[in-house]
Chain A
Amino acid sequence: MHDLLSINLKRVRALFRMDLHRMFHGKAFYVMVGIAVFIPVMMLTQMSGEKDIMMFIGGEGNMAGSFGAGMSLSMLNILTGMLLSIYIGREYTTGFVKNIITAHANKYDYIISKGLIALICNVIFMAVYLVTLFALGMIMGVSAEVPSIVGLALYILEKLLLSIPMSLLMIAINLVFRHSFGWSIVFICIAATGIIPISLQMGLSMLGFGSLAGVLNFTISGASSFATLTPNILSLFVIIGITVVWSLLCSLAGDCLMNQRDVL
């Protein structure tokens, strides 16, 4: 907690510039951008039957209901998570992390920097995804029933907000599995798909604990159920609250993981 209060923005900025430089000068990031283009292309060209662009952006209602459609944007979280795994894992295998930790005794430098990198990735991936989706959809003549532009913009904003605590959770996961790329990817997929809260919620509803199941809407992936295409200021505030609380919790977890464990 003390670390959180003594963050030095100059040092965070330094580390962030390094992370950014490495991202733009490595291959992995561009591969992920390619995948973000590839997904909508595949979906539009391979899916048969009646379709609408909005199917690939998101749906309404509870988590389980929107699972299929809502996944499309959450899938982009997986790309970001994989990038984080690559960056964090390689810092440890190369030993470059020694240079980082020595220069940045405050572990929040690390977590904030990686979190910002993830946010930038999410923005870029989402933009690439949406532009490809709409552009190709237009070319192919696929209908796009946008209920309200404001609603769509808010929806995207809310997804982006929720990607912040998700990325911070992924950073913590990567710190736990820093020596095993495989396991970190497995757990990143588990986190990004929200499989745990979804199955818990379904289980609880089936057993008749419907009200208890509602609590799970306040998990990071569960909060997607508040994000709808019809503009709703109240749900925006709920999502902001969930974002702030989980972001704090996940970065605290990351800080503890870094402080409690030996680096080498």
Chain B
Amino acid sequence: MDAITTKNLSKSFKGKYAVKSLDMHVPEGSIYGFIGENGAGKSTTQKMICGLLRPTDGEIQLFGRPASDAEVHARMGVLIENPGVYMGWTAKENLLLQALNIGIENPEKTVAEALEAVGLSDTGKKKVKEFSLGMKQRLGIAAAFIGNPDLLILDEPINGLDPEGIREIRQTLHRLNQERNVTILISSHILGELSKISTHYGIIKNGCMVKEISAENLSRECRDYMRIRVAEPEKVLSCLRQHIEMDSSEILDGEIHLFNARDGAAVNQCMFLNGHVVSEISFHQLDLEEYFMKLMGGEQSA
């Protein structure tokens, strides 16, 4: 079952579409990296999922139920754009409000644990307005984690965090996902970070979903390989297998793909010695970043 499904989801502001006919599928138990440039519509989509914006059109289902369902909403933890906290209050007081808001039975204890988890235990009487950007962000993350939600919706959560903070949050997210099967929808434009934990990706451009892909398929698409075009690929491949060092190989659309074969000269020589005529030989190399840049449609912005 999908934790989040949107069908034809659209939102317009004063006649201009911020999100247009978006179909999204976030499988239960996945960590879904939601990627797009500034203004692509990531936050708008996430706000609609949380019920903060009314969709202009389309529908949203959460765990197979309509998004208006109050029961299913109570299973969500959210951080969208800036954390919604009282600046004149301390971290603890703010989290206590959130704990009460969602009806936690033992709020004091839960709050202490949440503060510990994001490394804010020792902020004491410090008011949030005296916090650094990263500390505020940590507080927002803690507020989203509180109450053991089954679905986390995080909009650029690592904004403003230091490398150590990013690593901690990443580990926490990974742990929640592994241990408690929490589904996580996380938006970011820092690809490197997303790629360390995401199991699925959605790429949004100008309010439209350009592509949804699992990490597995993505790594297949992004693998380095040597591409060889010849007249009789089967025959050539069996010959190459005997002489060339490589991880694996395949024949796709009449093309030979050699994975992790680095020595182009050796390949060439082998084929020459065995009397095969090469019509084309090249390296296929695409890293994650390029892949996304291509889909997001801005080589110019790369």
Contacts and interface: CB of A to CB of B under 8 A. Distances in A.
Interface of A: 6, 8, 10-11, 13-15, 17-18, 21-22, 25, 90, 94-106, 109, 259-264
A98 B78 contact: yes
A95 B83 contact: yes
Given A98-B78, A101-B51, 19 more contacts: A6-B70, A14-B100, A17-B100, A17-B103, A94-B85, A94-B87, A95-B81, A96-B86, A96-B97, A97-B84, A100-B101, A102-B51, A102-B76, A103-B74, A103-B101, A105-B51, A105-B68, A105-B69, A262-B53
B96 interface: yes
B93 interface: yes
A94 B86 contact: yes
A15 to B, nearest CB: 6
Contacts of B52: 98, 101-102, 262-264
19 contacts: A6-B70, A11-B70, A11-B103, A13-B103, A15-B101, A21-B97, A95-B81, A95-B82, A95-B83, A96-B85, A98-B50, A98-B84, A99-B143, A102-B52, A103-B73, A105-B69, A105-B70, A105-B72, A262-B53
A105 B73 CA distance: 6
Contact of A104 (B73, B80, B96, B97): B73
Contacts of B84: 94-99
Given A94-B85, A98-B84, A18 B47 contact: no
A18 B53 contact: no
B97 A90 contact: no
Interface string B59-100: 000000001111111101010111111110000010011101
B54 interface: yes
Contacts of B103: 10-11, 13-15, 17
Report which residue of A90, A95, A99 has the largest number of chain B beta carbons within 10 angstroms of its beta carbon: A99
Interface of B: 47, 50-54, 67-74, 76, 78, 80-87, 93, 96-98, 100-103, 143
A21 B53 contact: no
Contacts of A90: 86
Contact of A103 (B53, B81, B82, B102): B102
Given A14-B103, A98-B78, A100-B101, A262 B50 contact: no
Contacts of A17: 100, 103
A259 B54 CA distance: 8
A191 B57 CA distance: 37
A198 to B, nearest CB: 37
Contact of B101 (A99, A105, A106): A99
A106 B50 contact: no
A96 B84 CA distance: 4
Contact of B100 (A18, A102, A105): A18
A113 B288 CA distance: 49
A83 to B, nearest CB: 16
Contacts of A260: 54
A263 B80 CA distance: 12
Most A CB atoms within 10 A — which of B84, B87, B96, B97? B84
Nearest to B80: A98
Contacts of B83: 95
Contacts of A97: 84
A106 B85 CA distance: 22
5 closest pairs, A vs B, by CB? A14-B103, A95-B84, A18-B100, A105-B73, A105-B70
Contacts of A8: 70-71
A264 B53 contact: yes
B155 to A, nearest CB: 10
Given A11-B74, A95-B84, A106-B70, A101 B50 contact: yes
Given A99-B143, A104-B70, A25 B93 contact: yes
B195 to A, nearest CB: 28
Nearest to B100: A18
Most chain-B CB neighbours within 10 Å: which of A11, A22, A98, A259? Answer: A98
B100 A99 contact: no
A229 to B, nearest CB: 41
A83 B208 CA distance: 43
Nearest to B71: A8
Given A97-B84, A260-B54, A264-B53, A102 B97 contact: no
Contacts of A263: 47, 51-53
A18 B107 CA distance: 11
A76 B53 CA distance: 35
Nearest to A91: B84
Given A104-B73, A262-B52, A264-B52, A22 B97 contact: yes
